[in-house]
Amino acid sequence: MRWKTRIARGRRRFVVAALTAVMVALGTAAAVTGVSAAATGKPAATGKPATLGGNWYGAAPYVMPFDNSPPALGPVMNATGQKSFQLAFILAPNGGGCRPTWDGTQDVSSDTQARSMIDGIRAAGGDVTVSAGGYGGTKLGQTCGDPASTAGAYQQVIDKYSLRAIDFDLEEPEYENSAAIHNEVGAAKILQQNNPGLYVSVTTAGTTGGEGTGWFGKQLLNEAKSQGFTPANYAIMPFDGGFNGSSAQISALEGFHATLMSTFGWDGATAYAREGVSLMNGRSDSGEYFRQADFQAVLDYVTSHGLSRFTFWSVNRDRQCSPPDNNGQTSGTCSSVAQGDWDFTKYTAKFGGATPPVTPPPTSPPGTCSAPAWSASAVYTGGALVSYASHTWKAKWWTQGETPGKADVWADNGPCA
């Protein structure tokens, strides 16, 4: 999923000072995960992966372990039943070179922080997949000379962390570089051949244009076809492209399903089984809103049609801002919508096969719905407050007839009763 910040799909910031501050504030890597041998009653982690089904690797939500205030994952696992996480992102060094790093700054070969996070997750009975690429930064496919050397760099990551799963997040600007995509797809094929049983997923951009992905996304599929490479699934990211809730996302998935059939000659059932989706929780970079009801609707579609991946960006954002709407801004550390902690992770847990614990009641009651009820015929100007669907909404600019929760003009100020 992405990176302009990508506050949302990361998608991240290369701020070494911020990384250092986060790690100092959290103390040890065990504090980062919130999981320790003492806490779980299990022996110290050996780094050996848990035995998880492919459904769990398809259900792994993204986590940035070095930025955007990484949450303690032990409490997340306990509160949701989630067993898998997707750590992002593996890149080439910022200064160039064909060796793997975290976010272009942290060498995988000398890493201890991500290593400890992974060990903590495994000590609690879970496992990880690692994502390569994302939006922005320099990718290994761009700096390594060919598929074999690109695969060699990724193999170092697999060996370092004893990985059973890896994700190739191929999107802007890399997927506009045909040579880089050739190297990435070729590397994925080599890794699949050299690591029997390795779960390999591919993530790319989603569009509303009727085919589920754009021209470069289709060229990516054609490259995979030409190389004879078939991953566990191809997932699109239906956000940051004019999407309006779950109906637009489901439409994109149907379009992508047709694209997979036409590209590879698959029948309908095979195409669904090789298809996945990567969502964004809350407010996207471009101001779209995806709430819990949208996640449930897409999950219902995914499970009823037999798709094999359901994930989202990101666990770092799966908590409520203060105020809940974050003043109409997108954040990398909270969702900008009203929610309980880890509400969105519970949907991936359901897809993986867990029954999430019941959400505890909120620690404070919602405010009173003191604003007048929204009216479709009324004219509202910036700053106007209305009540609608047990929430208070604030108009950002002039509006008439645009339903709160459905149009970006309205900022959600939180629940009310």
Parse the chain into domains and list their residue ranges. Answer: 16-352, 364-417
Give the pLDDT of residue 409. 79
Give the other-Cβ count within 10 Å of 198's Cβ: 18
- Quickly tell me which residue has 């149907």 as its tokens: 254
CA distance 416 to 409: 19
| pLDDT tens digit sequence for 114-159 | 999 999 999 999 999 999 999 889 999 999 999 999 999 999 999 9
Q: Are the folds of 16-352 and 364-417 the same?
A: no
What tokens appear for 382 in the block?
């910036």
CA distance 406 to 203: 27
Point out which residues pair with 203 in neighbouring strands.
169, 235
User: Would you call 171 a catalytic residue per the annotation?
Assistant: yes
Q: Is 90 exposed, middle or buried (0-12, 13-18, 19+ CB in 10 A)?
A: buried
CA distance 108 to 90: 9
Among 47, 102, 43, CA closest to 70: 102
Give the pLDDT of residue 359. 64
Q: How many helices (H) and strands (E) does the chain have?
A: 14, 17
C-beta separation of 85 from 167 below 8 A: no
pLDDT under 50: residue ranges of the chain:
1-5, 8, 10-33, 35-46, 362
Choosing from 171, 174, 211, 275, which is the catalytic residue? Answer: 171
- The dihedral built from the CA positions of residue 113, 171, 245 and 283, taken in this order, carries a sign that is positive
Give the pLDDT of residue 412. 79
Give the pLDDT of residue 6. 52
CA distance 239 to 286: 8
pTM: 0.80
Give the pLDDT of residue 407. 73
Q: What is the CATH number of domain 364-417?
A: 2.10.10.20
First to last CA, the chain: 36
Give the pLDDT of residue 228. 98
Among 135, 27, 116, 104, CA closest to 73: 116
CA distance 66 to 71: 10
CA distance 383 to 150: 52
The CATH architecture of the domain made up of 16-352 is Alpha-Beta Barrel (3.20)
CA distance 232 to 128: 16
C-beta separation of 102 from 65 below 8 A: yes
